Amino acid sequence: MVVPEAVLSQGALGALQCATMMGSSSRAIVCLCAILMLSSASPNSAGITSRYVRKLAASEDLPEDNAHVKAPEEYNAPQQVHIHQGDYEGTAVIVSWVTQDEPGDGKVLYGQAQGNYTTFVIGEAYSYSFYNYTSGFIHHAVISGLQFDTRYFYAIGSGNVSREFWFITPPESKLDTSYTFGVIGDLGQTFDSLSTLEHYMNSSGQSVLFVGDLSYADTYPFHNNIRWDTWSRLIEPSAAFQPWILTAGNHELDFLPEFGETIPFKPYTHRFHTPFRSSNSTSPLWYSIKRGPATIIVLSSYSAFGKYTPQYKWLLAALRRVDRNVTPWLIVLMHTPLYNSNSDHYYEGEPMRVIFEQFLVEYKVDVVFAGHVHAYERTHPVSNVQYDIVNGQCNPLVAESSPVYIVIGDGGNIEGLSAE
Residues annotated catalytic, as ranges: 345
Phi, psi of 196 (to 5 degrees): -60, -50
The span from the CA of 91 to the CA of 232, in Å, is 24
Cα 30 to chain centroid distance, Å, stands at 21
152 in Cβ contact with 112 (< 8 Å): yes
Assign 3-state DSSP to the chain and report helix, strand, coil percentages, each to 5. Answer: 20, 25, 55
Nearest to 342 by CA among 379, 390, 293: 379
DSSP state of 115: T
Tell how strand 397-398 and strand 382-383 pair up. antiparallel
Cβ burial 358-370 (10 Å sphere, 16+ → b, else e): ebbbebbbbbbbb
CA gyration radius for the chain? 21
Nearest to 411 by CA among 1, 11, 7, 5: 11
359 in Cβ contact with 321 (< 8 Å): no
DSSP state of 116: B
DSSP state of 350: H
The span from the CA of 234 to the CA of 190, in Å, is 10
Nearest to 170 by CA among 353, 402, 282, 329: 329
Looking at the DSSP assignment, which residues form a beta bridge with residue 405?
A: 368
Query: Residue 35 corresponds to which amino acid?
Result: I
The span from the CA of 290 to the CA of 333, in Å, is 13
